[in-house]
Amino acid sequence: MAKNLPVFTLKHFLVLSLALNVSLILRAMYESEKGSLYRVLSLQQQRSSVIAGCGSQEEAHVSKKKHLSISLPSLDTTTSTGIEAEAEAEDGGERIINLDHGDPTMYEKYWQQVGDKTTIVIPGWQSLSYFSDVSNLCWFLEPEFAKEVVRLHKVVGNAITENRHIVVGTGSTQLFQAALYALSAQDASEPISVVSAAPYYSSYPSITDCLKSGLFKWAGDAQRFDKDGPYIELVTSPNNPDGFVRQSVVNRSGGILVHDLAYYWPQYTSISFPADHDLMLFTVSKSTGHAGMRIGWALVKDTEVAKKMTKFIELNTIGVSKDSQLRAAKVLKVVSDSCEPSSSEIECFFAFNHQQMDMRWKQLRVAVKESGLFSVPDFPPQFCTFLGRAFEPQPAFAWLKCEEDINDCEGFLRDKKILTRSGKHFGFSPKYVRISILDRDEIFNLFIHRLSKIIS
């Protein structure tokens, strides 16, 4: 019988059956997650007030407590009690808390709540070719990914994409090297100097110098740079490790600027204007949290620079994973969708994670105050065009200073089984450490509790 059934009839059956699946899956999810539906709905309600920027922070905090009580402590701004204390008690203070890396696992929570909207399905016969778009200068750039990059910048308003080439990279780390390659002269008598104002991203020196290149060479703190001749200045804004908004500091001719804008997103800092620099670097690792994808992108004004960057990536890795580009395209699309005014299904990605960061920084400041041994930077509030209100930066890293006579802050915290990165790696004082704020709730809460108990 089935053999004689026409295909279009089978397809109709299939559609019906798929619809049945979807409804059953949704039902099962809602039933088994015990109220997660209501959480999503309450996120929605809360979202409108955050986007509109009308509610006070205290109001936001109250509504946050309502729907996030399952996985986050009900912590107010003066005492630290709740789940993290329980975790610490269970753990006995023996567990090593590794916050050396900026591993963005905090974002798992949002993506779990979003469910299968960002699920990607790749059949085995897809994406075999090296090439994505031979008509594009960057021939390994997936058109769908490029489209979603442009859209996301338009939604957030954090960068100009018009009249720019997009170059995709295996993370922004590869694009940073591609930029150095593209901006240095192949026939120069000596390598071009690469500088950045201290404290600078700890990996810049080692990445720049790892192959002892004859094209470029790390020349340290931009504020102390006094060598004649051309140079490349890296401007990281907001800055890694300290979170401050930055501009170039070497004010003379012959300089070429590379803007690393990995953290210029509204969960970390106010979006003041669409950035409009010659060469800007971004990465999904710190925007959406998908570090494992290894996807970054550069917005490049000059065609020759974009061509040379593409050439570098061709020589370095013959392009960039198509699977990850396709997955990144889907994730960026959902982020943009979630923040469009018309979205009613899911909480805006940036609003949700802005609140996560807001809460974490409040907890951190309380813990720092309780301990009395540390300090973290104070930031002036700035108006954010995306969220429609002013707020203080809440960076992905805490730039923590050990006060009193503690000179090796990293070592001091290591004794408390908290792993951090010493200020010395950032061209700065070892009285400072960089601490990731992007770990999972459990680890972050354990850290906050342990930090608050370190007293002189």
- Which of 77, 112, 247, 303 binds a second copy (CB under 8 A)? It is 112
Helix, coil or strand: residue 93? coil
- Which of 78, 119, 163, 251 binds a second copy (CB under 8 A)? It is 119
- Indicate the residue among 376 and 446 with the shorter CB distance to a second copy: 446
Shortest distance (Å) from residue 329 CB to a second copy: 12
Is residue 103 near a second copy by the rule CB under 8 A? yes
Residue 275 carries which DSSP code?
B
CA distances from 26 to 29, 147, 258 (A): 5, 30, 46
- Which of 62, 89, 185, 315 binds a second copy (CB under 8 A)? It is 315
Is residue 165 near a second copy by the rule CB under 8 A? no
CA distances from 6 to 2, 3, 209 (A): 9, 8, 65
Is residue 323 near a second copy by the rule CB under 8 A? yes
Quick note: the x/- pattern for a second copy over 175-214, rule CB under 8 A, is: --x---x---------------------x--xx--xxxxx
Is residue 70 near a second copy by the rule CB under 8 A? no
- Which of 286, 322, 354, 360 binds a second copy (CB under 8 A)? It is 322
- Alpha-carbon distance of 153 to 350, in angstroms, equals 13
- Binding segment for a second copy (CB under 8 A), chosen from 16-24, 194-202, 225-233, 340-348, is 16-24
- Indicate the residue among 14 and 62 with the shorter CB distance to a second copy: 14
Q: What are phi and psi of 236, to 5 degrees?
A: -100, 115
- Indicate the residue among 10 and 52 with the shorter CB distance to a second copy: 10
- Indicate the residue among 28 and 52 with the shorter CB distance to a second copy: 28
Helix (H) or strand (E) holding 221: strand 216-221
CA angle (264, 265, 268) in 5-degree steps: 90
- Say if residue 285 is exposed, middle or buried (CB neighbours under 10 Å; 0-12, 13-18, 19+): buried
Residue of 285, 172, 189 lying closest to 234 (CA atoms): 172
Shortest distance (Å) from residue 321 CB to a second copy: 4
Is residue 290 near a second copy by the rule CB under 8 A? yes
- Say if residue 66 is exposed, middle or buried (CB neighbours under 10 Å; 0-12, 13-18, 19+): middle
Residues in 214-253 that interact with a second copy by CB under 8 A: 214-215
Quick note: the x/- pattern for a second copy over 123-142, rule CB under 8 A, is: xxx-xxxxxx----------
Output the DSSP codes for 182-210: HHS-TT-SSPEEEEEPSS--THHHHHHHT
Quick note: the x/- pattern for a second copy over 250-289, rule CB under 8 A, is: -----------------------------------x---x
Shortest distance (Å) from residue 72 CB to a second copy: 17
Neighbours of 196 (CB within 10 A): 31
Is residue 353 near a second copy by the rule CB under 8 A? no
Residues in 361-420 that interact with a second copy by CB under 8 A: none
CA angle (55, 60, 66) in 5-degree steps: 135
Torsion of CA 54, 57, 60, 66, to 10 degrees: -160
Residues 409 and 432 sit within 8 Å (Cβ to Cβ):
yes
- Binding segment for a second copy (CB under 8 A), chosen from 166-174, 252-260, 262-270, 350-358, is 166-174
Is residue 334 near a second copy by the rule CB under 8 A? yes
Shortest distance (Å) from residue 102 CB to a second copy: 9
- Binding segment for a second copy (CB under 8 A), chosen from 9-17, 147-155, 368-376, 386-394, is 9-17
